[in-house]
Amino acid sequence: MDRRNTLGFDAYWMPFTANRAFKDAPRLVASASGHEYKTPDGARVLDAFSGLWTTGLGHGRPQIIEAVRRQLETLDYAPAFQIGHPGAFDLATRLTALAPEGMTRAFFTNSGSEAVETALKIALAYQHARGKPQKKRLIGRERGYHGVNFGGVSVGGILANRSVYAGALLPNVSHLPATLDLKRNAFSHGLPKHGAELADALEHHVRVHGADSIAAVIVEPVAGSTGVIPPPQGYLERLRALCTAHDILLIFDEVITGFGRVGAAFAAERFGVTPDLICTAKGLTNGVIPMGAVIAGQHIYDAFMQGPPHAIEFFHGYTYSGHPAAVAAAIATLEIYSEENSFDGARALEPAFAERIHQLRGAPNVIDIRNFGLMGAIELAPRQGAPGARGFEVHVRAFEAGLMVRNGGDVLQFAPFLNGTADELDETFSTIEKVLRDVA
Ligand SMILES: Cc1ncc(COP(=O)(O)O)c(C=O)c1O
């Protein structure tokens, strides 16, 4: 008997998806090129989210596709442990060259979640290696998103991702307060004025737990998945200073903010704040092949390089760390960023994006608009008793109207292409304006 269901939608348990609603009314894309998707029926959908914060250069870039094809024909796989292949070393050299000075080592993973796990483990193992094994506490931030593995969920601060696992998450984790403050900062253009002092909450944890028990703080320089929360002016500088003063590592989770999203190679560069570790993924390969990386300061790497030379220094790694196909995609992507000056291009588009998104102030149910770099959010008032319903409806209606926009609950999120155009911004926000009226 053929046990396949006739609709064909049942077997796939979709991630972060309302499966039943989706399967009742599926939204499918069948192809992508440039800044657009096509549905299986051939309808055009403008991508206002660069994939899933992934594909800043646009879809279907021939240079990346060709590089992957050539690589697969030459070396499809190389063992990741105790053996190397030339591309991985080349990529690590190119990647660290983009990072702030002193961040000279790259460890490859297959996703942002794995980059976060790797960074947290590096932080703990680093403290161990330098003779401070009691430094085990990890500090995240309310509303932080660091992927879905146990370490990332533990330091993450989104209740829906955490609550089911309460009691089974990592011990010794604390959180800083979120920096969103609608009372003082609603409709800020770029970085909000108020709230740098929220970084001082780290002092509270130092007083309660002792600096000698704290290994690292991890934050997204600009919080993304929770609904785009740019840091208050001066906040990241203050956090860096406090971490340094208390001998605590600072980890920037730049899975979203890396590779031009904030108009520089990394948010670290844009803010002039150098962390000890950077997590990255998404834009590393333009989303073409799954890949992540942790970029580490030289001091971190050096602390591990002890013991007999034949001994493994860090008991961690993935079968697919530095996979040849991912490496080829990443090298081609980094080449395009450089050839096309993509990060400067993003910076140049930022004022038009800011101006256009803020024109929706006053549209029905809009309670805040936030932007930084090419990251933007429109926060909607939740429907009485049905948080998230309005945002989801906007997402669905926008898709039907030919626009791909993401909603996290009632926060609409926007990530134009690094090489996007004013016309696309116009189309994006005029469609959203119309949909907001329709659902009001
Ligand atoms: C800041 C941040 N960290 C980690 C992740 C997890 O990345 P992935 O979904 O590739 O595991 C994401 C994904 O959106 C992210 O935004």
- Per residue in 20-74, pLDDT tens? 999 999 999 999 999 999 999 999 999 999 999 999 999 999 999 999 999 999 9
Type of residue found at 36: E
347 lies in the same domain as 324: no
Name the domain boundary from 316, 339, 362. 339
Angstrom distances, CA of residue 324 to CA of 11, 54, 331: 31, 19, 10
278 lies in the same domain as 166: yes
- Mutation test residue for ligand 1: of 49, 150, 225, 291, the one with most atoms within 8 Å of CB: 225
* Mean pLDDT for the stretch of residues 393-407: 97
Q: Which atom of ligand 1 is nearest the CA belonging to 116?
A: 4
pLDDT of residue 1: 46
98 lies in the same domain as 150: yes
pLDDT digits (tens, 9 = 90+) for 326-363: 999 999 999 999 999 999 999 999 999 999 999 999 99
Distance CA 264, CA 43 (A): 34
315 lies in the same domain as 393: no
Which residues in 325-352 are b (16+ Cβ under 10 Å) and which e?
bbbbbbbbbbebbeeeebbebbbebbee
Report the candidate in 399, 398, 386 with the shortest Cα–Cα distance to residue 433.
398
Helix (H/G/I), strand (E/B), else coil: 101:
coil
Q: pLDDT > 70: what percent of the chain?
A: 98
Q: Which residue is closest in CA terms to ligand 1's atom 12? A: 147
Q: How far is the CA of 146 from the centre of ligand 1 (A)?
A: 6
Which segments of 340-439 does DSSP mark as H helices, in order?
A: 342-358, 389-400, 422-439
pLDDT reading at 423 higher than 80: yes
Q: Half-sphere exposure of residue 113, counting CA atoms within 13 Å on the CB side?
A: 8
Which residues in 19-39 are b (16+ Cβ under 10 Å) and which e?
eeeeeeeeeebeebeebbbee
pLDDT of residue 7: 59
Structural domain that includes position 299: 63-339
pLDDT digits (tens, 9 = 90+) for 84-96: 999 999 999 999 9
Q: Which atom of ligand 1 is nearest the CA belonging to 290?
A: 10
pLDDT digits (tens, 9 = 90+) for 96-129: 999 999 999 999 999 999 999 999 999 999 999 9
> Who lines ligand 1 at CB under 6 A?
111-113, 116, 145-147, 220, 224-225, 253, 255-256, 281
User: What is the model's pTM?
Assistant: 0.97
Q: Which atom of ligand 1 is nearest the CA belonging to 52?
A: 14
Q: How far is the CA of 82 from the centre of ligand 1 (A)?
A: 28
Name the domain boundary from 321, 339, 357. 339
Name the domain boundary from 283, 307, 339. 339
Q: How far is the CA of 157 from the centre of ligand 1 (A)?
A: 13
- Mutation test residue for ligand 1: of 53, 141, 145, 259, the one with most atoms within 8 Å of CB: 145
pLDDT reading at 303 higher than 80: yes
Q: How far is the CA of 311 from the centre of ligand 1 (A)?
A: 32
**Which CATH number fits the domain that encloses residue 68?**
3.40.640.10
Domain count for the chain, please give it.
2
Pairing of strands 214-219, 137-141: parallel
